Structure 1
Amino acid sequence: MADKIRKTMVTFEVPAHTSPAPGDLPPGKYRGTKVERGVHMLGGLSWTAPTYKLEVPQQTLAKIAGMEDLLGLEMDVTAEVRAGEILVVGD
């Protein structure tokens, strides 16, 4: 049986300048996704810890040195969410 994937749109709040790779992210609210994987185990479906992807719009990238020419960027911010540096404030 195939694993299941649950993808939810969320809103992130970056309360202070944060530096997830590849750049310095200014404070503010950003859209993104939370992804959980369901794995079939004995006794039912077990969900993994979620991973988080934050979408950085072109207007924000234009203000970040070295990223001015990008049209958009999706960043994996799972470590920053788990450390409490970036907050999930809505879905």
Structure 2
Amino acid sequence: MKSYFEHRACGVKIIDMDWSGCELVEVVPGKVSGAPLLKGTRLPAETLIENVQAYMDDGQLLEEAILSTLESFPSTPGGAGTIRALFAYSESQDLLRRHQPAL
């Protein structure tokens, strides 16, 4: 279950985000075009990650950005804890990508 999202500040697409190891995310064919979604919702996981990153780009600290994102998406199941876990998972995937040898 790989996907990509576009970093707002630089317009670069971050490719191959592998959500298969994240128990909070599911892909349902035909639901929101098969995008990785927060389980039981129609909310793309990347939307939450992008929102946190946008707040951080505006100068907020991580925890402030998570709470601001929760204000933007108040019906997020699990609240700030879910957003925090998704962000941590995306950061771990980013670290893995950066440390993989080039093919």
Normalised TM-score (structure 1): 0.30
**Between Structure 1 and Structure 2, which shows a larger proportion of strand residues?**
1
Larger Rg: 1
TM-score (norm 2): 0.27
Larger RCO (CA within 8 A; separation ≥ 6): 1
